[in-house]
Amino acid sequence: MGTYVEGGNNDILPSEGNSAHVIHSDFRDLAGGNSSNTEGKEDASLLESVRCSKKFDLVTGTPPYFRVDFATDSSASNASSSSSPSATPHHGAIVKSATIVQGGMPTSVQSAPARCEFRGGVEAYCNTASAMLSSSHGARFVVCENWLNNQRVYDGAKEAKLDIVTVLPVKGKENKNSPLFGVYVLRKANVESGENPSKKTEVLPPLAVRNQHGDWTTEYTGVMADMAIPS
């Protein structure tokens, strides 16, 4: 099974055995056909190779969680006071200003795009995943997103022609009123032959990490056991 792991700065490619190639680039280049953001000829060559294959059965992603509003040469002002998602500039756009709406400015150049939506949020991840995901029956895009952006996942999936199959809300503690984040499993829209395209998304009961006493819950201990993480 081909696997592509989508990241803020580094795109990890399948290789022989347990090793992996890492492309130092902007993940949006996979969908946009641009290679100008790669750091070298080898990166550009690998990027083109992956872009041409488009046969990945699994794509995963963890989008940044702080929204950024941009003002470009084609917009009168940023939308920092708006509740709508940030509009990520197209490649080549001249950015006049970038305002971090949530959180503070990271001090590391490498970590900034991983924490803040300088290269787009979950919508950009959905768009790139849709471009790279195969149309096979079991091909899936799995993404983790801040629960405050739950509706953005649905909107981004619809725009990218993806169906959300399953949602697992995750709470930090059992007595919390709302989830902290969600894990979403998506697929190409209507890929299953003869399946009702209006089938509803299955939203699973929330998974709590800790109980009211601060101990791991039985369910979360099971997750760690499945991942071979000592509890």
User: What is the secondary structure of 40-94 as a DSSP string?
Assistant: SHHHHHHHHHHHHH--BSEEEE----B-EEEEETT-SS--TT-SSPP-PPPTT--
Tell me how far apart the alpha carbons of residues 55 and 112 are, in angstroms, rounded to a whole number.
Answer: 30
Q: What residue type is 153 in one-letter code?
A: V
DSSP 16: S
Would you state the pLDDT for residue 176? 94
Q: What residue type is 9 in one-letter code?
A: N
Tell me how far apart the alpha carbons of residues 25 and 33 are, in angstroms, rounded to a whole number.
Answer: 12
Q: Is the pLDDT of residue 217 over 50?
A: yes
Q: Is the pLDDT of residue 196 over 90?
A: no
Tell me how far apart the alpha carbons of residues 231 and 214 are, in angstroms, rounded to a whole number.
Answer: 13
- Cβ neighbours of residue 140 under 8 Å, at least 6 residues apart? 57, 58, 59, 133, 165, 185, 186, 187
Q: Is the pLDDT of residue 228 over 70?
A: yes
Tell me how far apart the alpha carbons of residues 81 and 86 are, in angstroms, rounded to a whole number.
Answer: 11
Q: Is the pLDDT of residue 103 over 50?
A: yes
Query: How many other C-beta atoms are found inside a 10 Å radius of the C-beta of residue 150?
Result: 19
pLDDT in tens, 118-131: 878 899 899 989 98
Would you state the pLDDT for residue 4? 44
Residue that wins the pLDDT comparison between 186 and 89: 186
**Mean pLDDT value across the chain:** 77
Would you state the pLDDT for residue 20? 65
Q: What band does 94 get if pLDDT is binned at 50, 70 and 90?
A: confident
Would you state the pLDDT for residue 192? 56
pLDDT in tens, 49-72: 776 766 789 999 988 878 878 777
Provide the greatest CA pair distance for the chain.
54
How many residues would you count in the chain? Answer: 231
Q: Give the pTM.
A: 0.76
Would you state the pLDDT for residue 80? 40
Q: What band does 170 get if pLDDT is binned at 50, 70 and 90?
A: very high
Would you state the pLDDT for residue 9? 45
DSSP 113: H
